Amino acid sequence: MPDKLCPNGHGLVAVGKKLAHEELHFRPAKLYLERIYTTTYKCPSCELMDGLAHLIQSQAPKALIPLFHHVHIGHANV
Ligand SMILES: [Zn+2]
């Protein structure tokens, strides 16, 4: 599955995952958090060339609803 390529066109290898953000979901009377992770890849070909680790992070999908940002519940004073 060489769909992930380093800037030099080599196939990347996943080496780890990192928490990108958390998403809050609603189910009948239940809230649960879904954790979205990004994958970290390295390019073994570049590493062989210069001896340095070439780590590349995958893009995480954007959060649909930012977690409790400016949510007001209750009566407004008019
Ligand atoms: Zn490379």
pLDDT digits (tens, 9 = 90+) for 26-39: 877 777 788 888 88
Domain that holds residue 39: 13-57
Cα(45) to ligand 1 centroid in Å equals: 5
Cα torsion for 21, 27, 30, 35, to the nearest 10°? -20
Residue 65 clears pLDDT 60, i.e. is over it: yes
Q: Looking at residue 1, what is its pLDDT? A: 46
Tell me what the mean pLDDT of segment 15-31 comes to.
Answer: 85
Q: What percent of the chain has pLDDT over 90?
A: 27
The number of folded domains in the chain is: 1
In a domain, 26, yes or no: yes
Is 5 or 78 the better-scoring residue by pLDDT? 5
37 CA from centroid of ligand 1 (Å) = 23
Cα 57 to middle of ligand 1, angstroms: 14
Smallest CA-to-CA distance from 25 within 36, 14, 13 is with 36
pTM reported for the whole predicted model: 0.35
- Ligand 1 centroid to Cα of residue 26, in Å, is 42
**For residue 49, is it within any domain?**
yes
User: Which residue from 9, 1, 13, 6 is spatially nearest to 39, judged by alpha carbons?
Assistant: 13
Task: Let me know if residue 78 belongs to a domain.
Answer: no
Specify if 62 maps to a domain: no
